[in-house]
Structure 1
């Protein structure tokens, strides 16, 4: 007679770690005071700080998580800051300097 094959137990499923829903504010820099809320009915995500009352809202999809809204807010802040720096540099370069036109005298 033959032995029965023993079945190996399947590996236990890994638990997905929960993503954060509260973050630090980019304006007042207080930790865990930015709360992200998702309104699936109106497809709007909002992040707002409880201390300085700054807020950001964006259009969301069904796959959007609170960290996505916070990252969009941070990206928008960086984009605005970089744009302002570029304008300041441009103003510094334009301080009354007018480039001379070169005119060719040979024909």
Structure 2
């Protein structure tokens, strides 16, 4: 005698990720959840402010940026100042690393520039063979 078949379990969907936080701890007054981040994606500006100590910070963002990215930029800027450099990292220099290149590719060359030396085309062919050459190839094949 055989065993009974168990009922097949229904497949479960993928687990939903927890949303990223939008309130953080302040680095200056150490209050929990007092820093609020606001993103203006149309203007490309992320701003954060502390409700307790009124600290403000702004940085450039792109369409992929989240509140966590603005907070991380703030932490990095505070660390750079605290290192003793005395120079804060310019927000524009940091933003240029994230902004996509307008041309798409890093170095696009013009289409009319010819550097395909491996390909034989009509411009490269000096004989009457139409660009085809080599051993055993003749201009007119007669049968």
- The bucket for the TM-score relative to the shorter chain is 0.5 to 0.7
2:19 paired residue number: 18
SS in 1 for 2:63: coil
**Which residue does 2:40 correspond to in 1?**
39
- Number of residue-to-residue matches in the alignment: 80
Q: Does the residue aligned with 1:14 lie in a helix, a strand or coil?
A: coil
Which structure is higher in helix share? 1
TM-score computed with the length of structure 2 as normaliser? 0.51
* Higher gyration radius (CA): 2
Q: Runs in 1 of length 4+ with deviation above 3 angstroms?
A: 7-11
Between the aligned partners of 1:32 and 1:46, the Cα distance in structure 2 is: 16
Alignment partner of 1:79 is 2:57:
no
What is the distance in 2 between the residues matched to 1:24 and 1:36? 11
Structure 1 residue aligned with 2:96: none
Higher relative contact order (CA 8 A, sep 6+): 1
Distance in structure 2 (CA, Å) of the matches to 1:34 and 1:72: 14
Q: Under a length normalisation based on structure 1, what TM-score does the superposition of the two structures give?
A: 0.67
5+ residue gaps, structure 1, are 1-6, 86-107
Q: Which runs of 5+ in 2 are unaligned?
A: 1-7, 87-143
User: 1:58-69 to 2 correspondence within 5 Å?
Assistant: 58-69=59-70
If each structure's strand is expressed as a fraction of its own residues, which one has the higher value? 1
